[in-house]
Copies of this chain bind each other. A is one copy, B any other.
Amino acid sequence: MRYELYYWPDIQGRGEFVRLALEEAGADYVDVARLPKRGGIPALMRFLESHRVEHPPFAPPFLRAGKLVIGQTANILLFLGPRLGLVPKNEASQLWAHQLQLTIADWVSEVHDTHHPISGGLYYEEQKREAKRRAADFTAERLPKFLDYFEQVLKCHPRGTDYLLGKAVSYVDLSIFQMIAGLRYAFPRAMARLETKHPRLVALHGRVSARSRIAAYLKSPRRLPFNQQGIFRHYPELDG
């Protein structure tokens, strides 16, 4: 099965959580909007604007797998997890993995809203005052709450389990890696202050980044750099 990922070609964004899963599994996939020939944003728009798509996505990312078109990042990972061996086989574990992924999705939205608290349709500069206020709340209240939660999930683990769901890596671990990497880029001062209290998350980030396929991916041109158009943006004035 060759998977087709549809996502904006110039940012990591929400698509990156899917890219990391496909890369870790060594899956056969194409990142359609980044293909030199048929790619680009028009490839996305054909799906978003066509009235002939049976299950139209509301927004990227979406994945084409044979006849299926699947939208919503966490839903894509719910689908891919068992197929790529990135989640245990029993239903209870898959529900738990998905629950954690949905909590990460909420966290991602809150990160986004630190720089766009009023509207995704306005520039950052048009909502900078509100962004400063929201980001101050995020770094003081919400960021520690999310970090504490996932640190606690790791802490409750049976001994000898390196990953969130046990001995084997799951797509949730890859997403936590991405959160820590992105938060370090966007909020280096806040993270420097908070990381000492979350040693298990820091270790998990290191463990994921050292996995052979992930390490190769991070060094490849397929890994886009963080930038000021994605979810994680570095505005020093927002990093309290």
A133 to B128, CA, bound (A): 13
Q: Does A15 contact B (CB under 8 A)?
A: no
User: Residues of B contacting A78 with CB < 8 Å?
Assistant: 78, 95, 98
Contact in complex: A103, B54 (CB < 8 Å): no
User: Residues of B contacting A127 with CB < 8 Å?
Assistant: 133
Q: Does A75 contact B (CB under 8 A)?
A: yes
Contact in complex: A102, B75 (CB < 8 Å): yes
Chain B nearest Cβ from A100, distance in angstroms: 9
User: Residues of B contacting A118 with CB < 8 Å?
Assistant: 117, 130, 133-134, 137
Q: What does DSSP make chain A's interface, helix, strand, loop or mixed?
A: helix
Contact in complex: A99, B71 (CB < 8 Å): yes
Extra A-B contacts (15), CB below 8 Å, given A71-B103, A117-B117, A117-B118: A56-B153, A56-B156, A58-B103, A68-B92, A72-B99, A72-B103, A74-B102, A75-B98, A75-B102, A78-B78, A78-B98, A102-B102, A106-B109, A119-B137, A119-B141
**Can you name 22 A-B pairs with beta carbons within 8 Å?**
A51-B152, A51-B156, A56-B153, A58-B103, A68-B92, A70-B95, A71-B99, A71-B103, A72-B98, A72-B99, A74-B102, A75-B95, A79-B95, A102-B102, A102-B105, A109-B109, A117-B117, A117-B130, A117-B134, A119-B137, A119-B141, A127-B133
